[in-house]
Amino acid sequence: MKSTSFSLYTLAVAAAIALSSSLATAPRAIAQEPSPVAPFLKLLASGRVPAERQPLILENICKRGTADDLAVVLERILTDETTTDDLKQSVLGWLTDAATTRKVKPSGDLAGIAKLITASKSAKLQLAAVKLAGEWQVAGIGDALAQLAQSETASPQLQEAAMQGLAAMGDDSSKQLLEKLAASSQSIRVRTLAAAALVKSNLDVAAKLGAATLAASSVADDPAPMIEAILNRQGGSDKLAEALAGEKLQADVAKMALRFMYSIGRSDEALSAILSKAAGVALDTPPPTAEEVEKLVAEVNEKGDAARGEKVFRRADVSCMKCHAINRAGGQIGPELSALGGISPVDYIVNSILNPDLAKKEQYLTRIVLTVDGETFTGIVVDEDDVKMNLKDASGKIITIAIDDIEAQKEGKSLMPQGLTKFLTHDELLDLIKYVSVLGKPGEYALRTVPAIQKWKVLKAPSAELAGDVPNVEIVREHILDLPAEAWQAIYGTTSGALPLDEVKPIVQGSPVVILQGEVNVITGGEVTLQTTSSEPAQIWIDAEPFEASGPITTLLSQGMHKITVRTKIGDSPSPSLKVELAKPEGSEAQFDVVGGN
């Protein structure tokens, strides 16, 4: 009986989707014509929608509904106590998308969203509500946003969203508060976020306050939000360069700002020049001539060292792994490089690094988009329809732009800017080119035949319960498996599949233990063997089940996603490392995929 009712419900949803799609595209001749999502509203009002199917209904209403339809959705998440915080958060995201891409927001009084900001115990829900309130420019919400913007206990993400909300409000009191928060009496973090928010209303003031904030910053401060906000404004780069001309920056702060600018695919001439001068590094050099490329190729073949080059490739300041993946682990912006050396001559690789626009492939062509509000975005078009365009920028972030907001667009340069190699010595450049040129060739850097966990997540702050004896199942669930994504940071293995544990030390900040987690997606269930090679003692859990890591582990894995968790300590080994390989034992029907990505 249960399966029959479920089938009938599924048919009803399918019919509702088909009907709402036809209504959404049909001309509306009279005001009384039914809503394009009337079938979904009827299903929702029936009270018989299973909890697991409610997200589908609510998402479709938000995607196609009118202002009155969205008011029904808003009322539901504000008053229905059975709606989970996770679903409320999703709905707020869909409502935000409706506001930004379709320019539709719920009819009636929107002030009720304030209680999700002031009374919610979920940090994620509170953040989503703040972002939406700013997008809607909800009257009377300014005081709540101002309180969060000035809070010493609010997370940086929440503070940033509150300040962006104040900027969207656009009233004089909000602007004055942001200028006050960007002044020298505040912390560098607050000043940075406030200057970023001011960009929307007054670029000149934002650039001057941002430059002063950079001049007062140390290497412990993060200038990224402010720099990115200014660069995303038409003429912002030149304004910031002009403002910085009157400031004195610490060399390391200038390097940090320069690295960030390059890491998001920008190498604006004036700003790059002034930051390079402050950092004490060379100015951007022109692309190499054919003769210079030929000379470099000869030097790479004679002096280049691939092992040293891999270490250069993995350095954060060079940003290679932000865009490129090796063995499917790493950035997803540029080409996967595992086989590049086996199919490309060295001169092609030299040009790809030093003159990326020369060797740009069609699937990595970028688009520069100017909006009617004066914002500029550069990225690869992921998808585009009559309502919105989705761009993937150099950091991997998806930027959604309403088609109606686009004033102009043109083809852009490569997301890999010139100048990234200015932080390298000549020998380091030779080593880097050598490493990339041998990827995929027979030998140490050949394509691997045995899959290994290449993408790991590191638990940034392991709890005290994980530091003593081997934790039991309850502790593993509470302090590892049930933690949110924000508790972890991605890190990647080397080409061989081994993870250098020395690279983990800065992430765990002195913790006596290291908790690492990889994932495997089992397509067809069956036996799978894990082989762990570690310089340090280690314990392994597959999901919540513990195993000894001293030898091969063969276990039955069901279809679906499984977490492989490793607990270890970084000892005194000269080169501590960890490697976990997976194989299908003879006779097993298992089919699996080790999860990569960024």
Residue indicated by tokens 């998806």: 398
Q: Is it the case that residue 597 has pLDDT exceeding 80?
A: no
Beta bridge partners of 233: 375
Report the candidate in 366, 280, 277, 370 with the shortest Cα–Cα distance to residue 323: 366
Place of tokens 């100048």: 419
Question: How is residue 288 annotated by DSSP?
Answer: P
* Calpha distance 247→217 (Å, rounded): 12
Topology annotation, domain 455-594: Jelly Rolls (2.60.120)
- Flag whether pLDDT at 26 surpasses 50: no
More confident residue, 395 or 44: 44
Identify the residue whose tokens are 């001011």: 198
Mean pLDDT along residues 444-464: 93
Share of the chain above pLDDT 90, in %: 66
Q: What would the two tokens of residue 76 be?
A: 């539901």
What is the per-residue pLDDT for 225?
Answer: 94
**For the chain, which residues make up each domain, given as ranges?**
290-360+418-438, 362-412, 455-594
Q: What is the CATH number of domain 362-412?
A: 2.30.30.100
For 302, 369, 372, 373, the CA distances from 404, given in Å and listed in that order, are 55, 12, 9, 11
Out of 20-29, 338-347, 367-376, pick the least confident.
Answer: 20-29
Confidence (pLDDT) at 397: 86
Average pLDDT of the residues in 529-547:
93
**Over the chain, what is the mean pLDDT?**
89
For the ranges 13-17, 106-110, 301-305, 559-563, the lowest mean pLDDT is seen at 13-17
**Region 290-360+418-438: CATH code:** 1.10.760.10
pLDDT tens digit sequence for 117-138: 988 888 889 999 999 999 999 9
Q: Which two tokens stand for residue 299?
A: 């030097």
- Cβ atoms within 10 Å, residue 227: 27
- Can 290-360+418-438 and 362-412 be said to share one CATH topology? no
Pairing of strands 538-542, 514-524: unpaired
pTM recorded for the entire structure: 0.79
